[in-house]
């Protein structure tokens, strides 16, 4: 298992680094990846994994998986490429990280940077190249690493030195990923970093004091250990020397680090503000601006203007005071009457027709009834777009055994036997949506006589129906 | 009532919004004869008592109390005056209250001018005017009444329940069908549809079942 699984990102990395697959340490020596048997060391074995470790194979260039991902989707992407089970690859990666003292993790982060995600052709690295501030942070981290390496070499603690390098490389890489990845990837990173954040997040003075005291005790303990093992006044002198060098570097680089850190904070705040503004803008665009445009176009029909204004006011109030995002049909605690109302408001606002909505009885919406509402919305939007009618009737009735929804217009109608292709497709999508959930949909129409779409969904496994 | 009356009914508009009153007046145009306007309960009762119109267009919501106060006060003295409730509000209990106070129909303020004229004519002729919304409210009100059983005997079972046919008619009206379309759908005449609707209206007004009141009270709470 160990032999097949570590065909992780480091394999690709070593090919990708362009040094002919030659490891960066003398040939024959056990490097941080274990014994290196030359290029193809793992590649030759990759298809000999046992049956249970295999997974579906995906052809084409290596891509990071976008759906099945734990962090960057590198492992799943590799697994798909090699026909292995993603979990096996992940386990192998974990083991590789342990055995390579962390360098496999570096390889993972580099792969994250270099390998594009499924469905895209540009890697994060391409964007990161232009990210000057991100590169500055990475460089600052590099200088910090040098500093620590100097300190640990002077203090003869090689263990820390070997861990510090991969750690800092990983962090530098992740900083670049974080700054240049798409919003979705950033969300994944944020989820991963959550435990870390709670550890370092602001939690009052007590936490800071506890941390400071712990640090002082640890440092004091460390110094005591050094002094007691070496029992030499020489070491103290050496320590003093190291301290001086460190102080010099801090004095030299300190302001730069602080500036980089401060820039990062301001930039982060600016980005949060920009995101909020973008969100606000899109909401306002979807609702208020649309409505204002409709009102301008219908200035000669005061009744419709009033109606548009009223619908918009309702929606805006719901958003501002009840936190109900405009246009979200699948919100929690949705009921049939609420869903029908929402369809009514949406279609009235966007298409400027009157939707006469009537609901009898009510119940909570489950997945099946969500599909029913979605189909009803599609039918209503259809009627608003195609029928030419000013009024669309939407009637929902909740009965103990089933929920029925009728969408009726008095528009131009059509002959169901000779429907134009696009309309037929829409009807099919309504029918298909209902059929998949065990419901039914019928469309009744004739030229000049309007259209009625009847939707029925059984309420299988429903709780007590709540009427009224 | 003569045919001429039915063709050009005399109408009083009761609504607290002046703008809306003038809007309705101009919409109704020459098809009806608007003989007066009132903006509150007391003036409305006085005005209607004086000029005895064929139809009163009655806003469900008025500052001095609901429209049902007007309907109840006028009908105690002049049962021949007919009311058509008109509202922008969605509150079913208020609508049902106005109907129970004697209104012969209910339409929403979004109704088109032609439909409004038609509705006024039909109310003037003694018919019941059920908009899809009213049909929905009534179905809801009667559906939430538990069927009478031995624990809760009904004093007048006929009044407390809708027949299957009446239910079918109401359902089709709620779906947006006109009386004529309902008739075609159920293979009955438009006149029979009218009979069913009037019967529903009667049940709604005469049912003494306290559940109907309680339904309204519950709706008000939610």
Section A15-43 average pLDDT: 43
Q: Residue A4's CB: how many other CB atoms inside 10 A?
A: 20
One-letter-per-residue 3-state SS of A157-206: CHHHHHHHHHHHHHHHHHHHHHHHCCHHHHHHHHHHHHHHHHHHCCCHHH
Whether residue B53 is predicted with pLDDT greater than 60 in this model: the reply is yes
Distance CA A105, CA A173 (A): 10
Instruction: Evaluate whether B8 touches B53 at the Cβ level (below 8 Å).
Output: no
Structure tokens at B200: 């529903």
Band of residue A98 on the pLDDT scale cut at 50, 70, 90: confident
Whether residue A350 is predicted with pLDDT greater than 60 in this model: the reply is yes
Q: What's residue A13's pLDDT?
A: 41
Global pTM value: 0.51
Q: What's residue B12's pLDDT?
A: 92
Distance CA A327, CA A317 (A): 13
Instruction: Evaluate whether B181 touches B171 at the Cβ level (below 8 Å).
Output: no
Whether residue A199 is predicted with pLDDT greater than 80 in this model: the reply is no
Q: What's residue A223's pLDDT?
A: 60
Residues of B at the A interface, defined by Cβ within 8 angstroms: 23, 108, 110, 112, 131-133, 135-136, 139-140, 143-144, 171, 174-177, 215, 218-219, 222
Whether residue A25 is predicted with pLDDT greater than 50 in this model: the reply is no
Distance CA A290, CA A292 (A): 6
Helix (H) or strand (E) holding A381: helix A367-382
Choose the mutation target among B141, B164, B176 for the interface with A, i.e. most A CBs under 10 Å.
B176
Distance CA A403, CA A456 (A): 6
Contact A358 B108 (CB under 8 A): no
Residue tagged 């009737």 (tokens): A393
Contact A395 B136 (CB under 8 A): yes
Instruction: Evaluate whether A441 touches A455 at the Cβ level (below 8 Å).
Output: yes
Band of residue A256 on the pLDDT scale cut at 50, 70, 90: confident
Instruction: Evaluate whether A315 touches A345 at the Cβ level (below 8 Å).
Output: yes
**What SS3 state is found at A355?**
strand
Q: Residue A391's CB: how many other CB atoms inside 10 A?
A: 20
Q: What's residue A51's pLDDT?
A: 60
Contact B140 A361 (CB under 8 A): yes
- Per DSSP, the residues of A415-437 read -GGG--HHHHHHHHHHHHHHHHT
Nearest to A334 by CA among A354, A359, A316, A309: A359
CA distances from A267 to A125, A140, A197, A277 (A): 20, 17, 18, 15
Nearest to B134 by CA among B75, B101, B86: B86
pLDDT in tens, B74-92: 988 888 899 999 887 657 7
Q: What's residue A454's pLDDT?
A: 92
CA distances from A178 to A65, A137, A172, A264 (A): 17, 12, 10, 12
ipTM over 0.85: no
Distance CA A108, CA A19 (A): 18
CA distances from A269 to A196, A266, A275, A407, B133 (A): 20, 5, 10, 48, 50
Band of residue B32 on the pLDDT scale cut at 50, 70, 90: confident
Gyration radius from chain B CA atoms: 17
Q: What's residue A375's pLDDT?
A: 86
Kindly give the pairing relationship between strand B61-62 and strand B65-66: antiparallel
- Residue A350 to chain B, least CA–CA distance (Å): 17
CA angle A459, A460, A463 (to 5 degrees): 75
Residue A148: is it exposed, middle or buried by C-beta count within 10 angstroms (0-12/13-18/19+)?
middle
């Amino acid at each position: 298992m160990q032999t097949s699984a570590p065909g992780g990102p480091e394999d690709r990395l070593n090919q990708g680094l362009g040094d002919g697959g030659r490891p960066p340490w003398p040939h024959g020596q056990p490097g941080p990846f274990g014994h290196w048997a030359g290029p193809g060391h793992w590649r030759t074995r990759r298809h000999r994994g046992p049956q249970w470790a295999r997974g579906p194979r995906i052809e084409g260039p290596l891509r990071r998986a976008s759906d099945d991902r734990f962090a960057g989707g590198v492992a799943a992407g590799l697994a798909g490429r090699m026909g292995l089970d993603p979990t096996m690859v992940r386990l192998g990666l974990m083991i590789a990280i342990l055995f390579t003292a962390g360098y496999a993790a570096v390889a993972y982060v580099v792969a994250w940077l270099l390998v594009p995600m499924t469905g895209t052709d540009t890697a994060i690295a391409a964007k990161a190249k232009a990210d000057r501030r991100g590169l500055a942070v990475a460089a600052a981290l590099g200088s910090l690493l040098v500093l620590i390496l100097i300190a640990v070499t002077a203090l003869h603690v090689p263990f820390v030195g070997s861990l510090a390098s991969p750690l800092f490389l990983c962090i530098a890489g992740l900083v670049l990923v974080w700054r240049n990845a798409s919003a979705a990837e950033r969300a994944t990173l944020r989820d991963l970093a959550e435990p870390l954040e709670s550890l370092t997040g602001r939690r009052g003075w007590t936490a800071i004091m506890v941390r400071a005291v712990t640090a002082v005790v640890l440092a004091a303990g460390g110094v005591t250990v050094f002094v007691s093992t070496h029992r030499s006044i020489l070491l103290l002198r050496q320590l003093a020397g190291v301290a001086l060098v460190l102080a010099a570097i801090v004095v030299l680089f300190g302001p730069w680090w602080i500036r980089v850190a401060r820039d990062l904070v301001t930039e982060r705040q600016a980005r949060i503000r920009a995101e909020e503004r973008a969100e606000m803008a899109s909401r306002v665009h979807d609702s208020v601006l649309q409505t204002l445009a409709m009102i301008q176009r219908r200035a000669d029909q005061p009744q419709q203007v009033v109606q548009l204004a009223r619908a918009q006011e309702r929606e805006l109030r719901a958003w501002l005071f009840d936190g109900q995002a405009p246009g979200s049909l699948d919100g929690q605690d949705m009921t049939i009457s609420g869903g029908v109302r929402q369809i009514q408001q949406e279609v009235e606002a966007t298409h400027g027709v009157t939707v006469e909505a009537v609901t009898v009885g009510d119940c909570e919406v489950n997945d099946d009834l969500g599909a029913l509402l979605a189909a009803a919305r599609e039918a209503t939007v259809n009627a608003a777009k195609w029928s030419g009618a000013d009024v669309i009737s939407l009637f929902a009735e909740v009965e103990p055994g089933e929920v029925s929804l009728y969408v009726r217009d008095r528009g131009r109608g059509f002959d169901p036997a000779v429907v134009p292709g696009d309309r037929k497709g829409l009807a099919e999508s309504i029918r298909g949506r209902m059929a998949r959930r065990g419901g039914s949909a019928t469309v009744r129409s004739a030229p000049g006589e309007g259209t009625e779409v009847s939707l029925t969904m059984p309420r299988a496994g429903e709780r007590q129906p709540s009427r009224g | 009532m003569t045919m001429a009356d039915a063709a050009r009914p005399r109408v009083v508009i009761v609504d607290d919004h002046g703008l809306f009153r003038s809007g309705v007046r101009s919409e109704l145009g020459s098809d009806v004869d608007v003989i007066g306007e009132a903006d509150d309960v007391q003036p409305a009762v006085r005005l209607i008592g004086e000029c005895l119109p064929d139809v009163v267009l009655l806003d469900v919501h008025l500052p001095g109390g609901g429209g049902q106060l007007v309907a109840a006060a006028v009908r105690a003295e002049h049962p021949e005056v007919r009311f058509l409730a008109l509202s922008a509000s969605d509150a079913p209990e208020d609508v049902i209250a106005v109907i129970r106070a004697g209104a012969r129909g209910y339409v929403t303020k979004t109704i088109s001018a032609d439909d409004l004229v038609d509705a006024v004519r039909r109310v003037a002729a003694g018919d019941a005017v059920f908009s899809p919304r009213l049909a929905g409210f009534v179905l809801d009100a009667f559906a939430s009444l538990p069927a009478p059983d031995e624990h809760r005997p009904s004093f007048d079972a006929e009044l407390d329940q809708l027949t299957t046919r009446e239910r079918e008619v109401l359902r089709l009206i709620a779906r947006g069908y006109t009386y004529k379309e309902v008739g075609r759908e159920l293979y009955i005449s438009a006149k029979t549809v009218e009979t069913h609707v009037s019967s529903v209206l009667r049940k709604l007004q005469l049912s003494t079942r306290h559940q109907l009141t309680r339904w309204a009270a519950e709706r008000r709470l939610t």
